[in-house]
Structure 1
């Protein structure tokens, strides 16, 4: 059997085609299917278009399963019903599974093994799994949560700019980067620009790139953003450890923590302070597989159990 893995995140929706050996043979990328950005009809339209395009490649053949991994699934009753209906209709009788993206991230990041998956992309969320028991932390969405994510960091970039602009913090590279990126004629123009930017989580998350550039230029405010982001991410991990791995708190590096998401593209800027902030029983590990494969691994496991 061949497989179609769908990773619907807050920035994009990826459709990856895998052969019988789970080797990726093709990939299609479309805009986000997140219901808060695309709307419920838009969510269905993105999922349907991507699946149709994947089938049209000819790589899937007549028999394949679909793993739907959707950001925000399980958090809104109306959106959940729409996602379930869309997945059922799109699958057209083929085997499929529909899960939240953090569950797929755990499956891919830790190859279905016990531990903690930490996602920090446009949003942020963590999931711990141990002997079939799961504990989730974070994922409270852009307006009130998503600490340590790209969206959160984007807001922090804007805040840091205002502090540098009015003298509360020393001016550094971040000040000039923001003025140039947002084409500000006056520092106060940031107020109007922020109203537009903060209405779109993707645009806000894109500002996190400026934090990386400024931090690499030794901007103290930008480095502090990464340190706070790491502390927020470690806080989610710590909450899961207390609920799921309490008996291992005195066992150094016993709990693997896979890091997944665009925020970690900043490399050591985020990974070093995160490693320092994690509980001592945890160890950071690179993900075993790409997130697109996560829901496929879950589907394959379920199908194997019913045979």
Structure 2
């Protein structure tokens, strides 16, 4: 198989990292999944280990080595946000590949490249975290994605934290108890409501991705008609709509222009409640053209690698 033109894309995320390699015709030649490359959670060494394992796995499937990869794009969570860590991550990618035919960027690019196949428009990511990214006539912009401590509005992590907060207030009487209270009790198999503190924050508590994994509990409460949970989804849609509007303005789309808008990440891909509320907020004046994602973010990363190399994938 040596001598083929392969393009490797790496879609890093807060929960997992997916590696996809395509050939010059756009056919997937190899795929690999490793743990998160979110260095704020697993450290620089942990992120590098995941990258090393993924690249090695792809090359093993292709029976080749990194030198035969035409171009590589590594979309990494939080990349571009730390002037000290970014160069180290980029240098480690170069070391693992053994050549300079690669580029590192934020994983938001993977969602846009996959959803819109590298065409002008906006992509909203609402997965473990949240961020928006778009391009128009060579201009690129991002919005949101400042991290879970004080941002990531509308993400699975944000929704879960709002849900946990509501559970605590329902438990001690600051809010009337609705279905959300019971679904959290069932999720954690609680004997005493206060036991949730140790399960979430204790020594064996939840990491960022584990907390984000509680977003479906809130969705379950929404389906049961819980007014507080419904309000959480309403606010999530408000935040994501604000991202889209900010990107539209920054990128300079004309006021009468229907902006292609797509999405990625588990919240928007899998939760019809949040996505439906988002579409209701943005679809009333025909200023957005909702585009079903064409490809996955991981395939988008590989497509963007080909794009950076100047190759045209049919």
The structure, 1 or 2, with the larger RCO (C-alpha pairs under 8 Å, 6+ apart) is 2
What residue ranges of structure 1 are gaps of 5+ in the alignment? Answer: none
Match status 1:229 vs 2:228:
no
Q: Provide, for residues 24-74 of structure 1, a one-character-per-residue CA deviation record: whole Å limited to 9, x for no partner.
A: 243221110110111011111110111111111126677223221111110
- Counterpart position of 1:128: 134
TM superposition shift of 1:3: 2.3
Q: Secondary structure at the match of 1:247?
A: coil
Which residue in the other structure is 2:108 paired with?
102
Match of 1:210 in 2: 217
How far apart are the structure 2 equivalents of 1:240 and 1:304?
26
CA–CA distance in 1 between the matches of 2:64 and 2:131? 32
| TM-score (norm: length of structure 2) | 0.89
Q: Work out the CA distance in 2 between the residues paired with 1:226 and 1:24.
A: 36
257 and 126 in structure 1: CA distance in 2 versus 1, 3 angstrom threshold: same
Alignment partner of 1:113 is 2:96: no
Equivalent position of 1:259 in the other structure: 263
Q: Which residue of 2 aligns with 1:44?
A: 48
| Counterpart in the other structure of 2:165 | 159
Aligned to 2:26: 22
- The alignment covers a number of residue pairs equal to 302
Superposed, which structure 2 residues align to 1:241-280 within 5 Å?
A: 241-245=248-252, 247-248=254-255, 250-251=256-257, 254-278=258-282, 280=285
Q: Secondary structure at the match of 2:62?
A: coil
Aligned to 1:90: 96
| Shift in Å, 1:21 | 1.7
Give the Cα separation in 2 of the matches to 1:164 and 1:56: 52
SS in 2 for 1:256: strand
1:126 partner SS: strand
Separation of aligned partners in 2, 1:13 and 1:126: 19
| C-alpha RMSD over aligned residues | 2.1
